[in-house]
C-alpha cells in the first residue's frame, strides 16, 4: 500500500514489515468522535455523515454491518470503492457492479478526500472513512471507533431498536474485541504478509490457538459475550466470513478452515443469517481484492475459484440461550 506524505502521494514510503520480517500495521490518522452532546464539535444528525467503504475490506465491513443492524441506511449515506486497489489507491468506478461514484465530491480517488480534509496530511489512505458533509472533513477513519459511534450515538435516527453495546456487557465486549484483534483480525495479515518463517509461524500459532479457544467458548453460548449479539460478534464475523475463501489460501492460514470447526462454523452461519447482515457481504469483491491487490503474495493475480461456503445452511445456534434483538427477529419473521 502507498501513502500520503505531507499531502503528496508517495509510492515508496510505506513499509509493512519490520527488520525481522513480521507485519506491522500502522495507526490510523483521523480520530475525532461524533458524540450526542450539545458541546461536541461533531454531533449526530440525520443526513450529516457519509461513509466511504470497500465491500472487500473487513475493517470497513464492520461499519456496514453496524449500519445495517441499526437501520441507519437512510441517516448515513455510503460510497463504495472498487475492490481492486492499484498504485494510486482506492478508486471510485461507478460502472462496476457493486461500486459507486463518490456521492459527496465526485472525486476519482479516495486519497483526494484525505487531502481535502487536511492538505498537509501524512497518512495511509484506508477505509472506512466517516465524512462530515457539513464541516467538509474526515471525522474518523478507525473502524472500531466508527462502529462504536454508529452503535451508540445515532439511536434517534436508526429504524431498529438494536443495542450492540448494552449496559452490563460493556467491559466484556471491550475485552473480547481487544483479545481477538491481534491473534485473529490482524493475525491473518501477520501470517499473510510475513516475509520470514519465524514470524509467520508465530502468527499461525496465535491465530489457530485463538480460533480453538473461541470454538470451545461457543460450545456453551450463542454469542461471544454470552446471550447477546454485540459489537464483538461483528468484529469476529468480518474476519470469519473471509477466512475459507481468502485467508486460508491467499494468506497461507491453511491449518484448518472455519467449516472444520464444530461451533465456529454454525456461529458464522447464524451471524450471516441475522437480518441485514447477508446484504453487506460481497464475496466477489472480497476475492477480487485480495487475489489481485497483493502482487508480493500473488504475483500473477490469479483469483482462486473456490470454495463456496453454504452460509445459508441451517444451524442449531438457537438452542443456546439468547437471541438477536427483537427488532431483528421481527425483520426475520417479515
Residue 77's Cβ-count burial label (10 Å; 0-12, 13-18, 19+) is middle
State residue 118's pLDDT score: 96
DSSP 90-155: SB--TTSTT----TTT--SBTHHHHHHH-TT--EE--S-EEEETTTTEEEE--HHHHHHHHHHS-G
Positions marked active-site: 57, 189
Confidence (pTM): 0.95
Alpha carbon 13 to its chain's center: 25
- Cis? peptide before 189, omega within 30° of 0: no
Q: Has 143 been labeled as part of a binding site?
A: yes
Q: Has 18 been labeled as part of a binding site?
A: no
Residue 128's Cβ-count burial label (10 Å; 0-12, 13-18, 19+) is buried
Instruction: Give CA–CA dist 330/334, Å, rounded.
Output: 6
State residue 13's pLDDT score: 62
Task: Give the tens place of pLDDT for each residue, 218-255.
Answer: 999 999 999 999 999 999 999 999 999 999 999 999 99
Count of helices and strands (H, E) across the chain = 11, 7
Q: Torsion-angle region of residue 75: left (phi > 0), alpha (psi -120 to 50) or beta? A: alpha
The vertex-275 CA angle with 273 and 280, nearest 5°, equals 80
Element (H, E) at 8: strand 8-10
State residue 1's pLDDT score: 65
Structural domains in the chain, CATH included, are 3-157 (3.40.30.10), 169-275+319-333 (1.20.1050.10)
Residue 280's Cβ-count burial label (10 Å; 0-12, 13-18, 19+) is buried
Mean pLDDT by 10 residues, the chain (334 residues): 91 66 72 95 98 98 98 98 96 98 98 96 96 97 98 97 97 98 98 97 98 98 98 98 98 98 98 98 98 93 94 96 91 82
Q: Has 124 been labeled as part of a binding site?
A: yes
State residue 18's pLDDT score: 65
Nearest CA among 332, 225, 334 for reference residue 273: 332
Task: Give the tens place of pLDDT for each residue, 12-44.
Answer: 765 566 667 766 666 768 999 999 999 999 999
State residue 14's pLDDT score: 53
The CA-to-CA distance between both ends of the chain, in Å, stands at 43
Residue with cell string 480534509: 117
State residue 270's pLDDT score: 98
Q: Has 179 been labeled as part of a binding site?
A: no
Nearest CA among 80, 53, 239 for reference residue 146: 53
State residue 12's pLDDT score: 79
The vertex-88 CA angle with 83 and 92, nearest 5°, equals 45
State residue 25's pLDDT score: 62
Q: The sheet that has 3-5: what strands, in order across it?
A: 8-10, 3-5, 123-124
Q: Has 190 been labeled as part of a binding site?
A: no
State residue 17's pLDDT score: 60
182 DSSP assignment? I
State residue 222's pLDDT score: 98
Amino acid at each position: 500500500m502507498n501513502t500520503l506524505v505531507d499531502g503528496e502521494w508517495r509510492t515508496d514510503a510505506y513499509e509493512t514489515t519490520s527488520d525481522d520480517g513480521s507485519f506491522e500495521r500502522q495507526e490510523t490518522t483521523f480520530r475525532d468522535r461524533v458524540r450526542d452532546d450539545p458541546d461536541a464539535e461533531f454531533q449526530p444528525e440525520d443526513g450529516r455523515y457519509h461513509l466511504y467503504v470497500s465491500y472487500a475490506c473487513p475493517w470497513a465491513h464492520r461499519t456496514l454491518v453496524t449500519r445495517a443492524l441499526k437501520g441507519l441506511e437512510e441517516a448515513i449515506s455510503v460510497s463504495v470503492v472498487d475492490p481492486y486497489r492499484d498504485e494510486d489507491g482506492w478508486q471510485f468506478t461507478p460502472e462496476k457492479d457493486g461500486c459507486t461514484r463518490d456521492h459527496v465530491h465526485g472525486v476519482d480517488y479516495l486519497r483526494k478526500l484525505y487531502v481535502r480534509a487536511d492538505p498537509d496530511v501524512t497518512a495511509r489512505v484506508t477505509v472506512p472513512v466517516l465524512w462530515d458533509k457539513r464541516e467538509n472533513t474526515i471525522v474518523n477513519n478507525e473502524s472500531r471507533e466508527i462502529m462504536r459511534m454508529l452503535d451508540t450515538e445515532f439511536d434517534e435516527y436508526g429504524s431498529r431498536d438494536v443495542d450492540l453495546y448494552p449496559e452490563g456487557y460493556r467491559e466484556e465486549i471491550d475485552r473480547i474485541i481487544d483479545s481477538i484483534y491481534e491473534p485473529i483480525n490482524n493475525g491473518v495479515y501477520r501470517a499473510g504478509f510475513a516475509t520470514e518463517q519465524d514470524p509467520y509461524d508465530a502468527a499461525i500459532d496465535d491465530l489457530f490457538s485463538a480460533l480453538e479457544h473461541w470454538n470451545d467458548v461457543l460450545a456453551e453460548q450463542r454469542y461471544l459475550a454470552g446471550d447477546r449479539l454485540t459489537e464483538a460478534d461483528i468484529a469476529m464475523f468480518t474476519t470469519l466470513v473471509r477466512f475459507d475463501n481468502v485467508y486460508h489460501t491467499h494468506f497461507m492460514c491453511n491449518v484448518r478452515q472455519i467449516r472444520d470447526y464444530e461451533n465456529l462454523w454454525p456461529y458464522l452461519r447464524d451471524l450471516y443469517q441475522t437480518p441485514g447482515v447477508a446484504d453487506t457481504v460481497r464475496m466477489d469483491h472480497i476475492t477480487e481484492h485480495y487475489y489481485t491487490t497483493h502482487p508480493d503474495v500473488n504475483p500473477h493475480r490469479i483469483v482462486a475459484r473456490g470454495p463456496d461456503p453454504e452460509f445459508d445452511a441451517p444451524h442449531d445456534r438457537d438452542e443456546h440461550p439468547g437471541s438477536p434483538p427483537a427488532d431483528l427477529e421481527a425483520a426475520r419473521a417479515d
